Structure 1
Amino acid sequence: MTTPIAAASQLAVNVLDAHSLLATFGVLGVGVVMFVETGLLVGFFLPGDSLLFTAGLLCTGTAQGSVHLSLGPLLVSAAVGALAGAQCGYLLGRKAGTALLSRSRSQRLHEGVKRAEEFLERYGHAKAVVLARFVPVVRTVLNPMAGALEVPVRTFTVWQTVGGLVWSVGLTLAGYALGSSIPNVDRYLLPMVALIVVVSLLPVLAEVLRSRRTAGPERGDG
């Protein structure tokens, strides 16, 4: 007979841990987390990068444990959640403006707002929307920021679709590829997740370095 304490422990889920989320909610949970993280400000703390990568890894069947996912449904769930979430965030920002962002007391969220503004100013609408997908917190706040700043709907929709597909499908397939090639890959899960987060930031770092090199001669000419 299952005791109330045992039942509660089975239902408990650590929303900051990708494996716990996947063990509890499976493929559907991936889509929900993608939607919340990219569409609702309350989701800025969710582990989007590590969740996608871990989910792809668990599709291979080479990892030990009871969690096994199907790649096809996972890719659909991740992509739909990421795209629908970003569009929802944009529409909320368009209707509610900056009021949604100013009400939060989270220092981390406000830092994300500042970085999102810098993204939009430095890179322009299209590039900022794509690059923001690979930066935690920024991918949460940039969508409502784009709506509040009245970025054209067509521009936002096209580029958030491009960035959303590259991010969600790319990270999932990266996990799947590594899981397929390394036996008992779950032993190396933590360093792999750290590596994939670092790799996901490389496009942004490259763009920052390129911008600084471009800005250097301009300041010299001035």
Structure 2
Amino acid sequence: MWEFLKQLTDPNSIIEYGGLWLLLFVIFAETGLLVGFFLPGDNLILLAGILCKAKPDSLHVGYTELVTLMTSAAVLGNATGYWFGSKVGEKLYARKDGVIFKQKQIEITKTYYDKYGGNLTLVMARFLPIVRTFAPIIAGVIKIDFFKFMFFNIVGAIAWILSLTGIGYFLVQMFPQITDYMGYIFIALILLTALPILRIVLKKN
């Protein structure tokens, strides 16, 4: 079980052992399941873009197909999160902290809703760990209009998938040996995406 969880948090293992379908499931789960916040969405999408160009046999699809499938998984994930939030409602705020779920995760996401409003948060959240998992859930809790939610859900998914896969795909064209430095790239991306979250946590403390 522990080995399986380790593989789920390692972008290389996800693609090596699970291929395209596990890649799509992880993108769906990170945005659609309450426990999905620990999954490596950003790094996985970037890696998929790199491998699509550098090692096309690893995913067996072209760039356009890859982007379409990943965007669809991200949209469906958010829609599932919205549905869950609409069903659970205020019970989520009363839920006690557990090993995985923490009320602080809800508080961080709510800070973005209070500061930027629901529409902008749904787009911005795609690029922020933790927030991207809880943003659609809270949208369901506070009953944001579903059609409006779906519009910004789709816009955010397209922006998230296209930007990260595009960066990965074109980095290979500029630096063919980039696959030798994936560890450093993953660390840099984790730090960049975690900074806004750390800023909120430090402010609250």
Bucket of the pairwise TM-score, normalised by the shorter protein? 0.7 to 0.9
Cα contact 2:71–2:157 (8 A) shared by 1: yes
**Map 1:66-81 → 2, pairs under 5 A:** 67=58, 69-70=60-61, 71-81=63-73
CA distance in 1, matches of 2:192, 2:164: 10
Aligned counterpart, 1:48: 41
Give the corresponding residue for 2:52.
Answer: 59
Q: Distance in 2 between matches of 1:68 and 1:184?
A: 19
Aligned match of 2:203: none
Shift of 1:194: 2.9
Contact preservation (8 Å) 2:127, 2:160: yes
Matches within 5 A, 1:119-138: 119-138=112-131
Give the aligned partner of residue 150 of structure 1.
Answer: 143
Counterpart residue identity of residue 89, structure 1:
G
* Aligned AA (1:59): C
Tell me if structure 1 keeps the 8 A contact 2:20–2:59. no
Is 1:133–1:167's contact at 8 Å kept on the other side of the alignment? Answer: yes
Q: Which residue of 2 aligns with 1:219?
A: none
CA distance in 1, matches of 2:186, 2:39: 14
Count of equivalent residues: 195
CA shift for structure 1 position 107: 6.5
Q: Percent identity?
A: 29
* Runs of 5+ unmatched residues, structure 2: 201-205
> What is the root-mean-square deviation in Å for CA atoms of aligned residues?
2.8
In the TM superposition, what are the counterparts of 1:1-222 in structure 2 within 5 Å?
14-61=7-54, 67=58, 69-70=60-61, 71-100=63-92, 102=95, 105-106=98-99, 109-198=102-191
TM-score norm. by structure 1 comes to 0.77
Distance in 2, Cα, partners of 1:141 & 1:12:
21
Higher helix share: 2
Residues of 1 paired with 2:101 and 2:137: CA distance?
16
CA distance in 1, matches of 2:69, 2:90: 30
Query: Residue 58 of structure 2 aligns to which amino acid in structure 1?
Result: V
Measured after TM superposition, the shift of residue 85 of structure 1 is 0.3
Partners of 2:110 and 2:5 lie apart in 1 by 37
Contact 1:13/1:21, CA 8 A, preserved across alignment: no
Matched to 1:67, the amino acid is: S
Q: 1:12 to 1:37 in 2, by over 3 A?
A: closer
Residues 1:80 and 1:104: Cα distance change in structure 2 (over 3 Å) = farther
- TM-score by structure 2 length? 0.83
Paired position in structure 2 for 1:7: none
